[in-house]
């Protein structure tokens, strides 16, 4: 519906413009229809007065309330032939009329013909009206951009932007894998259901709970579950919706929201992305933002303005607690912070169980194996994964989802869409050697995660891929594991160089090298794993704190900087030499693996290991401990 409006508008606007000129031509009327009067010639007002003095005017017909006249004049030079002429009058009809009376000229005043007038009016109005309608829809379209021009139209009206759900229908059972957070919030449900239990002993019920965690971990879901469990309405608004182009609009939205909430207490107010409005005031590049500060002040005022036991609990979510204004975090406001982290392997299994409830799974499916293959996935990622797999199942017209669909879905979520297989060529061979290089190092090094499969089917940006199976939930990673990873990541380039020579190495290793450098640098600067000793020289990179200090401090001297570089280079060089040596030592099996890979497009981990074992010793890797 919305889309069709847009298309319609796109076409109607130019059409309207063209239409305007056409209509203007036809109807700009109100002027007498000249074709009836055949007076196509004009006469100036001065000439008209002259003619009047000279008694050459025989009759005058006034139109348009005296602004136009059609006059009949006789022309002595042409045998007194009667001419009909049109005169534009400067207005002031009364004077003219008395003048005509004096001169005894026959005159008539024509009221505008209603028909013509209506058409004239319509003709003049239709364009502005259509234009306004068109603009209205255009503005409506851009309305969902905060601060977009749409807001300009409703300035001061403060349209309610929050949404209210009387019943969320979400229960704690639907939220899995974040047990600590759930336990903490269980209490909030009791606050809402049985506040007397707390007030009786003089306890003040907390007003605000701040949920902190990365996107997709279930913060919104958790807030809805609290409302669902307590059976109270759920008001939600996103922090970015407070931030408006005009000063004061955000603040009035806050007022509206709290007013509505008070009418519906007990209830939950959920403010998503509170960092959009709750940033440290008076900080950031480009100075403060008046509007945001006013909104934040209003929020603080509203939070102070109601007593603890009115039954309103405010839950806010953010993934940037570090930038929040300290006033928001003091007791009496968001004094409780609950961390919602990415789930561990056990959590992932539980989340998978929740989302598998309404799906048809084949018996062979092991949710545990999925949980194992998906380190770093959040609840939202897992939900999405199962959904992708379900779509694939339907597309393949299967009764129930099998492990094949799951594997495809994981590959797809991690690495992107599958491309068409490469045609046999020199570059396909080169890619095969590159991937086998990665996989061989991964298989031969004891500390490296085992190979899950090697494939030449392109996916996303990658032309070939080697998948590894994470060995265990990696909380702590040892130095030898990191070294093994670096060596493995260099395996691709090492194979290219050893087999094809210096001149033939490709750009395909660019991504590998980036990862390698990153890992090696962190070993030196963050984990104290180099000859520089146990020093932390850099904090985690990649975050720009616009909220507070945005200056980057370098925590070391120039001299240390060059020593860091030297250490990083030493680590990478060491690993690269090792990888190259492995390629030289195993040339025979590499050639066989490459032939097999080009023939089959994919080799799975077990087959790969078996083949390698015919030529070299494959170390036994740690086996998984079952989760439950």
**Should residue 372 be labelled a site residue for ligand ADP when binding is judged by CB under 6 A?**
no
Does 218 sit near ligand ADP (CB under 6 A)?
A: yes
**Is 243:295 a contact under the CB 8 Å cutoff?**
yes
Contact segment (CB under 6 A) with ligand ADP among 186-194, 219-227, 261-269, 534-542 equals 219-227
From Zn ion, ligand ADP, Mg ion, none, which one binds at residue 512 (CB under 5 to 8 Å depending on kind)? Zn ion
CB-facing half-sphere around the CA of 50: CA atoms within 13 A: 6
3-state secondary structure of 83: strand
Count the residues of the shown chain that bind ligand ADP, applying the rule CB under 6 A: 17
- Kindly tell me which of 177 and 442 has the beta carbon lying closer to ligand ADP: 177
Q: What is the DSSP letter of 418?
A: B
* Least spacing, CB of residue 315 vs ligand ADP, in Å: 11
Report the residue from 62, 85, 175, 349 that binds ligand ADP according to the rule CB under 6 A.
175
Q: Which is nearer to ligand ADP, 173 or 424 (CB)?
A: 173
Token duo for residue 96: 């003219």
Q: Least distance to Zn ion from the beta carbon of 490, Å?
A: 9
The residue (of 252 and 318) whose beta carbon lies closer to Mg ion is 318
CB of 380 to Mg ion, least distance (A): 9
Output the CA torsion sign for 579, 580, 581, 584: positive
Restricting to residues 283-342, name those near ligand ADP by CB under 6 A.
317
**Which CB sits closer to ligand ADP, 216 or 442?**
216
Residue 116 or 470 having the CB closest to Zn ion: 470
- Considering the complex, what minimum distance in angstroms separates the CB of residue 434 from Zn ion? 6
Nearest to 212 by CA among 303, 284, 278, 273: 273
Note whether 217 binds ligand ADP by CB under 6 A: yes
Spatial separation of the C-alpha atoms in residues 593 and 612, rounded to whole Å: 8
Instruction: Select the residue whose beta carbon is closest to ligand ADP and give its number.
Output: 379
Q: Give one word for 64, left, alpha or beta, with left for phi > 0 and alpha for psi -120 to 50.
A: left
Phi, psi angle pair for 237, to nearest 5°: -150, 150
**Helix 587-600 crosses helix 479-500 at what angle (to 10 degrees)?**
80
Q: Looking at beta carbons, which residue is closest to Mg ion? A: 220
Beta-ladder partners of 339:
212
Ramachandran assignment for 235, one of left (phi > 0), alpha (psi -120 to 50 degrees), beta (any other): beta
Q: What is the dihedral of CA 573, 579, 580, 584, to 10 degrees?
A: 160
For the segment 289-308, give every residue that binds Zn ion (CB under 5 A): none
Q: Give the one residue of 111, 128, 169, 215 binding ligand ADP; rule: CB under 6 A.
A: 215
Rounded to the nearest 10 degrees, how much is the dihedral formed by the CA atoms of 356, 359, 363, 368?
-20
Q: Is 512 in the site for Zn ion (CB under 5 A)?
A: yes
Q: Is the Cβ of residue 170 or residue 230 nearer to ligand ADP in the bound state?
A: 170
Q: How far is the CB of 499 from Zn ion (least distance, A)?
A: 14
User: Pseudo-torsion of CA 248, 251, 257, 261, nearest 10°?
Assistant: -140
- Please tell me whether residue 492 binds Zn ion under the rule CB under 5 A: yes
Long-range contacts, stretch 502-510, CB < 8 angstroms, 24+ apart: 504/430, 506/427, 506/430, 506/434, 508/430, 508/431, 508/434, 508/463, 509/434
CB 565, min distance to ligand ADP, A? 39
Q: Look at residues 448, 440, 453 and name the one whose alpha carbon lies nearest to residue 616.
A: 440
Binder to ligand ADP among 206, 216, 464, 491 (CB under 6 A)?
216
> Minimum CB separation from Mg ion for residue 215, in Å?
7
Task: Note the residues at the interface with Mg ion (CB under 5 A).
Answer: 220
- For residues 525 and 528, what is the distance between their CA atoms, to the nearest angstrom? 6
Select from 85, 87, 221, 299 the one that contacts ligand ADP (CB under 6 A).
221
Q: Which stretch binds ligand ADP (CB under 6 A): 376-384, 442-450, 580-588, 597-605?
A: 376-384
- How big is the site for Zn ion, counted in residues (CB under 5 A)? 2
DSSP, collapsed to helix, strand or coil, labels residue 462 as strand
Q: Which of 29, 22, 19 is closest to 129 using CA atoms?
A: 19
Q: How far apart (Å, rounded) are the C-alpha atoms in residues 22 and 123?
A: 10
Interface pattern 340-369 for ligand ADP (x via CB under 6 A): -----------x--x---------------
Q: For residue 266, say if its preceding peptide bond is cis, omega within 30 degrees of 0.
A: yes
Residue whose Cβ sits closest to Zn ion: 492
The residues, any chain, with a CB within 8 Å of residue 449's CB and separated by 6 or more, are 442, 468, 469, 470, 471
Closer residue to Zn ion in complex, CB, 310/506: 506
Closer residue to ligand ADP in complex, CB, 52/349:
349
435 is catalytic: yes
Spatial distance between the Cα atoms of 322 and 413, rounded to a whole number of angstroms: 30
| 416 belongs to the binding site for ligand ADP (CB under 6 A) | no
Candidates 246-254, 318-326, 506-514, 614-622; binding stretch for Zn ion (CB under 5 A): 506-514
CA 31 vs CA 28, 74, 114, 450: distances in Å = 8, 24, 12, 90
Q: Is 178 in the site for ligand ADP (CB under 6 A)?
A: yes
From the list Mg ion, Zn ion, ligand ADP, none, partner contacted by residue 253 (C-beta under 5 to 8 A by kind): none
Catalytic residue among 184, 229, 302, 435: 435
Measure Cα distances from 481 to 435, 513, 530, 588, 612 in Å. Answer: 20, 17, 14, 27, 21
Q: Could you say which of Zn ion, Mg ion, ligand ADP, none residue 316 binds, taking C-beta under 5 to 8 angstroms by partner kind?
A: none
The residue (of 410 and 516) whose beta carbon lies closer to Zn ion is 516
Residue 100: closest CA among 44, 46, 53:
53
CA distance 319 to 314: 17
Distance from the Cα of residue 508 to its chain's centroid: 30
With binding defined as CB under 6 A, does residue 225 bind ligand ADP?
no
Q: Which does 575 bind (CB under 5 to 8 A by kind): Zn ion, Mg ion, ligand ADP, none?
A: none
* CB closer to ligand ADP out of 218 and 508: 218
Residue 379 binds ligand ADP, judged by CB under 6 A: yes
Q: Binding residues for ligand ADP, per CB under 6 A?
A: 175-178, 215-221, 317, 351, 354, 379-380, 383
Q: Binding residues for Zn ion, per CB under 5 A?
A: 492, 512
Active site residues: 435
């Amino acid at each position: 519906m919305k889309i069709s409006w847009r298309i319609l508008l796109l076409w109607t606007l130019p059409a309207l413009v063209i239409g305007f000129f056409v209509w203007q031509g036809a109807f700009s009327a109100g002027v007498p229809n000249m074709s009836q009067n055949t007076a196509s010639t004009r006469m100036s007002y001065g000439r008209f007065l002259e003619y009047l003095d000279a008694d050459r005017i025989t009759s005058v017909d006034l139109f348009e309330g005296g602004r136009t006249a059609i006059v009949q004049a006789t022309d002595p030079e042409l045998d007194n032939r009667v001419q009909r002429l049109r005169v534009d009058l400067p207005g002031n009809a009364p004077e003219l009329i008395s003048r005509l009376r004096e001169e005894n000229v026959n005159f008539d005043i024509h009221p505008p013909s209603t028909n013509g007038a209506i058409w004239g009016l319509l003709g003049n109005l239709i364009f502005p009206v259509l234009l306004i309608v068109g603009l209205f829809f255009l503005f409506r379209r851009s309305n969902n951009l905060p601060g977009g021009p749409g807001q300009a139209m409703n300035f001061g009206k403060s349209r309610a932007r929050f949404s209210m759900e009387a019943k969320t229908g979400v229960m704690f059972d639907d939220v899995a894998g974040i047990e600590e957070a759930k336990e903490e919030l269980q209490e909030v449900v009791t606050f809402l259901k049985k506040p007397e239990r707390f007030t009786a002993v003089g306890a003040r019920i907390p007003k605000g709970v701040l949920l902190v965690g990365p996107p997709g971990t279930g913060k919104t879901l958790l807030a809805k579950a609290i409302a669902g469990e307590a059976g109270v309405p759920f008001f939600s608004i996103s922090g970015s919706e407070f931030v408006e182009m005009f000063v004061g609009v955000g603040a009035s939205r806050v007022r509206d929201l709290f007013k509505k909430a008070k009418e519906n207490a007990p209830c939950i107010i959920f403010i998503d992305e509170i960092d959009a409005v709750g940033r440290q005031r008076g900080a950031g590049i480009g100075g403060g933002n008046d509007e945001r500060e006013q909104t934040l002040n209003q929020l603080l005022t509203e939070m102070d303005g109601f007593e603890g036991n009115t039954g309103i609990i405010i839950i806010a979510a953010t993934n940037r607690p570090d930038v929040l204004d300290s006033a928001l975090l003091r007791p009496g406001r968001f004094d409780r912070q609950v961390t919602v982290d990415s789930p561990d392997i056990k959590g992932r299994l539980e989340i998978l169980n929740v989302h598998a409830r309404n799906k048809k799974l084949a018996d062979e499916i092991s949710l545990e194996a999925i949980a194992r293959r998906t380190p770093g996935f959040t609840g939202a990622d897992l939900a999405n994964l199962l959904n992708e797999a379900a779509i694939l199942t339907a597309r393949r017209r299967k009764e129930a989802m099998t492990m094949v669909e799951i594997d495809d879905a994981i590959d797809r979520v991690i690495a992107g869409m599958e491309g068409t297989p490469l045609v046999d060529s020199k570059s396909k061979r080169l890619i095969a050697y590159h991937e086998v290089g990665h996989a061989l190092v991964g298989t031969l090094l004891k500390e490296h995660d085992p190979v899950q499969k090697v494939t030449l089917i392109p996916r996303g940006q990658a032309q070939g891929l080697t998948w590894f199976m994470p060995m265990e939930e990696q909380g702590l990673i040892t130095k030898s594991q990191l070294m093994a990873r670096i060596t493995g990541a260099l395996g691709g380039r090492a194979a290219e160089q050893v087999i094809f020579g210096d001149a033939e190495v490709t750009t395909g290793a660019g991504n590998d090298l980036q990862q390698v450098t990153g890992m090696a640098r962190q070993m030196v600067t963050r984990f104290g794993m180099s000859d520089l000793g146990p020093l932390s020289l850099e904090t985690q990179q990649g975050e720009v704190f616009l909220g507070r200090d945005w200056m980057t401090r370098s925590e070391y001297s120039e001299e240390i900087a060059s020593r860091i570089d030297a250490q990083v280079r030493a680590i990478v060089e060491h690993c690269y030499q090792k990888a190259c040596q492995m390629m030289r030592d195993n040339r025979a099996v590499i050639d066989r693996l490459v032939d097999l890979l080009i023939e089959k497009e994919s080799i799975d981990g077990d087959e790969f290991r078996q083949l390698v074992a015919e030529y070299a010793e494959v170390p036994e890797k740690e086996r998984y401990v079952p989760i439950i």
